[in-house]
Amino acid sequence: MTLKKQEIQKLLILINRGFLLFKSNMAINITSIVTIITALYIFFVFFVLSYSVDNFFGKLVNVQNIRGYITDSAPQDKINALIKRLSSLKSVAEAKFYKSKDSYEYLRKSYMSEKYLELLPEEFFPSFVEVTLKSNYQEIKFIKEIEGELMKSDIISTTSFGEKWLLNFLSIKVGLKIFVMILTGLLSISIGSVIYNTINLKLFKFKEEIKIYSLVGATRSFIITPFVVASVLEMTVSFLIAFILQYVTFYLIRHFFLDKLGVVFLQSPSIYVIFSIFFIMAFISIIASILSVFSFLDKNLGAIGE
């Protein structure tokens, strides 16, 4: 048998021991799993709510165009010069001038259900320059830049880019992201602590067996690997149950409450985001279990070969 095959066989044996370790310590595991499920469930609830609110505010503040309203009797050459200057900006996809008649047609097509618009004379509608931003420039600093360029012109009376107060929601978006980061950090610490202590309990249960392994020359990796596998299994089971619970919770909320009200608000994160969270939690469980075993071995058994 080649050396590579021996290493693979050894790894498979250690992984199998990890599965057996997980099954044989179910009483300890259940307490740990319930604790982790609770922490993950609370995290998922806040994460989905924060994710949904972030997307909701993101749509509200997604400003695609800015209007500058033209003063009465503005000369056409100045309007053309303004259009040319605006079009040269890197953030601008298009700058277009709408006369009163064009403005009227623009609104009428945009609001077909508003029949009262047809009763109003065209001259009631102001002329304006509409600046459309490129998709990757729809941010406050570029919006302000365009607004500044418009207000430099003496033919612009005022500017508009939707409801300006909506931009205040951007600060809420930033606050939500900070909140999720802090929540993730606290969750990571709590889960790492639970796994660390759970592994310690298991190690004390197998203390005599581990002593025998050390006497016959077992390496640290031989002792550590099964506990790492068991902790990853524990995290996987906890993660799946917590995810299913939060999915059912939000499904019931949507089905029995939000859908009846016609509110489309709650959004589930993408599979990529879910897998990213899982791999982060799995990584934390691996680190916590390794630290726990190393700490136990150093305190109780002294030096063991790597």
Domain ranges of the chain: 3-59+169-300, 65-161
Please choose, from the candidates 211, 241, 306, the residue with its C-alpha nearest in 3D space to the C-alpha of residue 29: 241
Sheet holding 156-160, edge to edge: 92-98, 128-133, 65-70, 156-160
**What is the reported pLDDT for 114?**
47
- Long-range interactions of 71-79: CB distance < 8 A, separation 24+: 71/154, 71/155, 71/156, 71/157, 74/127, 74/155, 75/155, 78/153, 78/154, 78/155, 79/129, 79/155
The token duo for 164 is 């300006």
Contact in structure between 265 and 272 (CB atoms under 8 Å)? no
What's the pTM value of the predicted model, to 2 decimals?
A: 0.60
Please choose, from the candidates 283, 296, 279, 289, the residue with its C-alpha nearest in 3D space to the C-alpha of residue 225: 289
Give the residue ranges of the chain where pLDDT is below 50.
Answer: 111-114, 116, 165, 303-306
Contact in structure between 51 and 269 (CB atoms under 8 Å)? yes
**What is the reported pLDDT for 112?**
45
Instruction: Answer whether CATH 3.90.1150.10 is correct for domain 65-161.
Output: no
Classify residue 133 by its DSSP letter.
E
The token duo for 299 is 């305190």
**What is the reported pLDDT for 195?**
84
The residue type at 72: D
| Averaged confidence pLDDT in the chain | 76
Phi-psi region of 300 (alpha: psi -120 to 50; beta: other; left: phi over 0): alpha
**What is the reported pLDDT for 242?**
92
Contact in structure between 172 and 57 (CB atoms under 8 Å)? yes
**What is the reported pLDDT for 261?**
64
Radius of gyration of the chain (CA): 31
**What is the reported pLDDT for 275?**
92
**What is the reported pLDDT for 279?**
92
Query: What is the rounded CA–CA span in Å between residue 30 and residue 161?
Result: 56
Residues 91-129: pLDDT tens digits? 888 888 888 777 666 666 654 444 545 555 555 667 888
Residues 167-211: pLDDT tens digits? 555 666 677 778 878 888 888 888 888 888 888 877 777 777 667
Query: What is the rounded CA–CA span in Å between residue 285 and residue 293?
Result: 12
The token duo for 156 is 């612009």
